[in-house]
């Protein structure tokens, strides 16, 4: 009961702030589990959020916080032994839950596309890049192979591959890591999806290439009027490429805010700690890199109280934090929606 | 030897085709359907097939299908005694009969081939189907499978176009070795079915202390192993671009 009330409050706040923006993706109370020999791992524990058309959202959280599991649940590609156990997912107003594989296949790549983390293993090693691109194009567009090849070459050129028509005949192992990530982006965007989910798209790349790839992804997404859901554990890249941020911890959203709001006035102690951990060259030299002590709670056990309580600088040992799970509630009356799941959010935000 | 080698080879080729074909079919089915029952059935069948002595099983099958039911011929060699062999071209009765347009001879030759070939195929089938099943399961877990599906390919499409092609490589290696082995004949099965092949010739030669023949058979099988391995290596490069050398 309490949970539903908070959901409607958040939803109302979000819609009033962006009345003109149409909701593209709507996720409600999404829950995902992995059944393992050590017990059932609750990877996503009831997540609610909306992504609007052309919005660029970052999902931030440390490893194991459920970001990727949530993304894969949205598109129905969660791998065994993971499964979605509850909640709704609506894209373009149509539900994606409980649909047949063939129906979902028409949506994947066309309405929602994914850019994956590891460009080394994302391609079939024994088929040419061209064959794999043509296959993707023809999965959604009724064009001849020759036409699809032309579209593929144009797209490769757009992501900065030189001699694109020739390179179509090359195999994945003939491309460098950075080039492969570009090809992966090209393949994701070739059918002009409405939403691009990028799951740690630059983690496998070196730092100099990371910026180029993000720049490329950003410009392609803007050109095509797509929305972007950028999943990352690196808050540093969020500021430059996203409009709003959702912070995830232990399978739950703990804070939602616009980028300036989150960096300027974090309302959840976890978000504050994450921001502290961003290495900033303009600050004075420090001997020890900042980190958050402790680790994520055991995902096989139900969480009593606030999941961040044992690691929290504000609430560790606090009886309220230990007993009651804080809800994601709107804070303040600012022009931008800002919600946090912390009993002391109003205090922390100051 | 000129008639014995083709006789064994024809039997061997048929056996390999049966083993490979059914192994791929069953392996793919068990993995694709993800049904526990299908998987357990396949593994049980292959364990039994691996553990059963094929010559004994061949005798049992002869008893059932030839003596009792009469659907397959008895141990009478490559053709019915009333049937004349087709004019020699390759030495494979099936191919020669087709070339000569003798359709009845072709059918008769196939009819005589099936049971002994199936018996020889038993062990290789068990081995190949397990190998293929394992490979398919590994390939199905590769990240590119999820990536392909995220681009809008259906599960079946990804399975046929990406998972299967990425799983056949070890099958080529295993099949090539089996091939070399089976070309020079299976001693016991040839004896059981009175097949006039290299295997039974070798047994006769050893018993007659005719060592020239034994040496010939050994040389022949060595040559076959080398040739078949070479062909397998070429097939590798055709399947997997990463193995290709040079520019």
Average per-residue pLDDT for chain B: 87
Among the partner residues A109, A121, A187, nearest to B143 by beta-carbon distance: A121
Q: Which residues of B touch A71 (CB under 8 A)?
A: none
Residue B150 to residues A44, A101, A103, A118, B70: CA-CA distances in angstroms? Answer: 20, 11, 13, 14, 54
**What does the pLDDT read at residue A199?**
92
Among the partner residues B152, B165, B239, nearest to A105 by beta-carbon distance: B152
Cross-chain Cβ contact A132/B148 below 8 Å: yes
pLDDT at B46 over 90: no
- CB of A139 within 8 Å of a chain B CB? The answer is yes
CA distance B153 to chain A (A): 6
Nearest residue in A to B241, CA atom: A126
Q: Is there a contact between A126 and B240 (Cβ–Cβ < 8 Å)? A: yes
**What does the pLDDT read at residue A118?**
85
**What does the pLDDT read at residue B106?**
92
Question: Across the beta sheet with A39-52, what order do the strands follow?
Answer: A39-52, A23-36, A82-91, A94-95
- Report the distance separating Cα B199 and Cα B185, nearest Å: 5
Among the partner residues A109, A118, A173, nearest to B151 by beta-carbon distance: A109
- Report the distance separating Cα A238 and Cα A59, nearest Å: 9
Q: Is there a contact between A286 and A267 (Cβ–Cβ < 8 Å)? A: no
Q: Which residues of B touch A114 (CB under 8 A)?
A: 147, 150
Q: Which residues of B touch A118 (CB under 8 A)?
A: 143
How many C-alpha atoms does B183 have within 13 Å on its Cβ side?
Answer: 17
Cross-chain Cβ contact A126/B142 below 8 Å: no
pLDDT at B34 over 80: no
Q: Which residues of A touch B146 (CB under 8 A)?
A: 72, 77, 79, 116
Q: CATH topology for A2-100+243-348?
A: Rossmann fold (3.40.50)
Cross-chain Cβ contact A105/B239 below 8 Å: no
- CB of A239 within 8 Å of a chain B CB? The answer is no
Among the partner residues A79, A101, A184, nearest to B155 by beta-carbon distance: A101
**What does the pLDDT read at residue B245?**
63
Per-residue pLDDT of chain A (350 residues; tens, 9 = 90+): 444 444 444 444 444 444 446 899 999 999 999 998 888 999 999 999 999 999 999 999 888 888 999 999 999 999 888 999 999 999 999 999 989 999 999 999 999 999 998 888 999 999 999 999 999 999 999 999 999 999 999 999 999 999 999 999 999 999 998 899 999 999 999 999 999 999 998 887 888 888 889 999 999 999 999 999 999 988 888 888 999 999 999 999 999 999 999 998 999 999 998 888 877 767 666 677 778 888 888 888 888 889 999 999 888 888 999 999 999 988 877 667 899 999 998 888 87
Residue B151 to residues A106, A110, A184, A233: CA-CA distances in angstroms? Answer: 9, 8, 10, 25
DSSP codes of every residue in B17-39: HHHHHHHHHHHHHHHHH--HHHH
User: Percent of chain B, pLDDT > 90?
Assistant: 30
Tell me which of B178 and B118 has the higher pLDDT. B118
- Report the distance separating Cα A224 and Cα A54, nearest Å: 9
SS3 B116: helix
Cross-chain Cβ contact A109/B144 below 8 Å: no
- Report the distance separating Cα A136 and Cα A280, nearest Å: 40
According to DSSP, residue A327 is labeled P
- CB of B144 within 8 Å of a chain A CB? The answer is yes
Chain A, window 161-180: residues with a beta carbon less than 8 angstroms from a chain B beta carbon: 171, 173
Across A44-53, B9-18, B27-36, least confident range: B27-36
**What does the pLDDT read at residue A1?**
41
Residue B192, both tokens: 């059981």
How many C-alpha atoms does B241 have within 13 Å on its Cβ side?
Answer: 13
Residue A192, both tokens: 């002009």
Residue A282 CB coordination number (10 Å): 4
Among the partner residues B142, B154, B162, nearest to A101 by beta-carbon distance: B154
- Report the distance separating Cα A108 and Cα A76, nearest Å: 9
* Long-range contact pairs involving B90-93 (C-beta distance under 8 Å, separation at least 24): B90/B6, B91/B2, B91/B3, B91/B5, B91/B6, B91/B7, B91/B9, B91/B10, B92/B6, B92/B9, B92/B10, B92/B13, B93/B10
- Report the distance separating Cα A15 and Cα A18, nearest Å: 5
Whether omega for the bond prior to residue A155 falls within 30 degrees of 0, making it cis, is: no
Q: Is there a contact between B171 and B128 (Cβ–Cβ < 8 Å)? A: yes
Domain annotation for chain B: domains and CATH numbers: 4-243 (1.10.3720.10)
Residue with tokens 């709704």, as numbered in its chain: A88
Burial A100-118 (b: 16+ CB within 10 A, else e): eeeebbebbbbbbbbbbbb
Average pLDDT over residues B133-155: 93
- CB of B81 within 8 Å of a chain A CB? The answer is no
Closest by CA position to B15, among listed B170, B98, B124: B124
Cross-chain Cβ contact A125/B161 below 8 Å: no
Cross-chain Cβ contact B151/A116 below 8 Å: no
pLDDT by residue (tens digit) across B151-200?
Answer: 999 999 999 999 999 999 888 888 888 887 787 668 888 888 988 888 88
Tell me which of A125 and B42 has the higher pLDDT. A125
Residue B225, both tokens: 């192993």
Closest by CA position to B165, among listed B246, B235, B231: B235
pLDDT by residue (tens digit) across A118-148?
Answer: 888 999 999 999 999 999 999 999 999 999 9
Cross-chain Cβ contact B144/A122 below 8 Å: yes
Among the partner residues B146, B148, B242, nearest to A173 by beta-carbon distance: B242
DSSP codes of every residue in A174-227: GS-HHHHHHHHHHHHHTT--SEEEEESTTTTS-HHHHHHHHHHHHHHHHHTT-E
Nearest residue in A to B155, CA atom: A101
- Report the distance separating Cα A154 and Cα A160, nearest Å: 10
Cross-chain Cβ contact B152/A187 below 8 Å: no
**What does the pLDDT read at residue A339?**
92
Closest by CA position to A144, among listed A157, A133, A134, A131: A134
CA distance B160 to chain A (A): 12
**What does the pLDDT read at residue B112?**
92
| Residues whose CB falls within 8 Å of the CB of residue A124, separated by 6 or more in sequence, listed in order | A132, A172, B144, B148, B161, B162, B165, B166
- CB of B161 within 8 Å of a chain A CB? The answer is yes
**What does the pLDDT read at residue A17?**
47
**What does the pLDDT read at residue A13?**
47
Residue B81: pLDDT band (50, 70, 90) is: confident
Angle at A101 between CA A48 and CA A105, to 5 degrees: 85
């Amino acid at each position: 009961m309490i949970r539903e009330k908070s959901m409607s409050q958040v939803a109302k706040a979000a819609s009033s702030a962006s009345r003109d923006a149409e909701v593209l993706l709507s996720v409600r109370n999404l829950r995902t589990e992995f059944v393992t020999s050590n017990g059932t791992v609750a990877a996503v524990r009831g997540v609610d959020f909306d992504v609007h058309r052309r919005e660029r959202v970052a999902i931030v959280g440390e490893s194991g916080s459920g970001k990727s599991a949530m993304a894969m649940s949205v598109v129905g590609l969660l791998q065994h032994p993971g499964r979605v156990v509850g909640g709704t997912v609506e894209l373009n107003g149509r539900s994606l839950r409980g649909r047949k594989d063939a129906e979902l296949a028409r949506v994947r790549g066309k309405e929602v596309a994914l850019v994956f983390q590891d460009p080394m293993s994302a391609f079939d090693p024994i088929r040419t890049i061209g064959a794999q691109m043509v296959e993707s194009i023809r999965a959604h567009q009724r064009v001849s192979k020759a036409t699809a090849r032309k579209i593929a070459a144009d797209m490769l050129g757009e992501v900065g591959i030189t001699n694109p028509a020739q390179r179509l005949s090359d195999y994945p192992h003939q491309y460098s890591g950075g080039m492969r990530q570009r090809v992966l982006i090209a393949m994701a965007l070739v059918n002009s999806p409405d939403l691009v989910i990028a799951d740690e798209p630059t983690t496998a790349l070196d730092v100099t290439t990371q910026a180029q790839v993000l720049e490329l992804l950003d410009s392609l997404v803007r050109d095509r009027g797509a929305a972007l859901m950028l999943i990352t554990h690196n808050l540093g890249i969020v500021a430059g490429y996203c409009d709003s941020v959702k912070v995830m911890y232990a399978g739950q959203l703990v804070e939602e805010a616009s980028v300036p709001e989150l960096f300027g006035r974090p309302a959840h102690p976890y978000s504050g700690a994450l921001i502290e951990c961003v290495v900033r060259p303009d600050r004075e030299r420090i001997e020890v890199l900042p980190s958050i002590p402790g680790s994520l709670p055991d995902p096989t056990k139900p969480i009593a109280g606030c999941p961040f309580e044992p690691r929290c600088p504000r609430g560790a040992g606090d009886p309220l934090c230990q007993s009651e799970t804080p809800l994601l509630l709107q804070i303040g009356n600012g022009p931008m929606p800002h919600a946090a799941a912390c009993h002391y959010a109003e205090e922390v935000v100051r | 030897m000129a008639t014995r080698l083709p006789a064994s080879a024809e039997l061997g080729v048929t056996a390999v085709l049966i083993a490979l074909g059914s192994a791929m079919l069953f392996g793919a089915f068990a993995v694709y359907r993800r049904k526990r029952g299908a998987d357990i059935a396949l593994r049980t069948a292959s364990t039994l097939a691996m553990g059963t002595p094929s010559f004994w099983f061949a005798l049992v099958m002869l008893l059932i299908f030839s003596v009792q039911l009469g659907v397959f011929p008895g141990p009478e060699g490559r053709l019915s005694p009333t049937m004349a062999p087709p004019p020699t071209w390759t030495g494979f009765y099936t191919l020669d009969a087709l070339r000569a347009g003798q359709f009845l001879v072709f059918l008769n030759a196939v009819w005589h081939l099936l049971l002994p070939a199936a018996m020889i195929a038993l062990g290789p089938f068990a081995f190949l189907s397990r190998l293929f099943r394992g490979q398919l399961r590994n390939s199905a877990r590769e990240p590119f499978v999820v990536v392909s599906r995220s681009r809008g390919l259906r599960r079946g499409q990804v399975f046929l176009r990406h998972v299967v092609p990425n799983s056949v490589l070890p099958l080529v290696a295993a099949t090539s070795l089996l091939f070399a082995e089976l070309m020079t004949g299976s001693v016991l099965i040839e004896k059981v079915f009175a097949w006039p092949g290299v295997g039974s010739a070798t047994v006769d030669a050893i018993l007659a202390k005719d060592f020239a023949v034994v040496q010939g058979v050994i040389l022949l099988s060595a040559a076959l192993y080398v040739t078949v391995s070479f062909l397998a290596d070429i097939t590798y490069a055709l399947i997997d671009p990463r193995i290709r050398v040079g520019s």
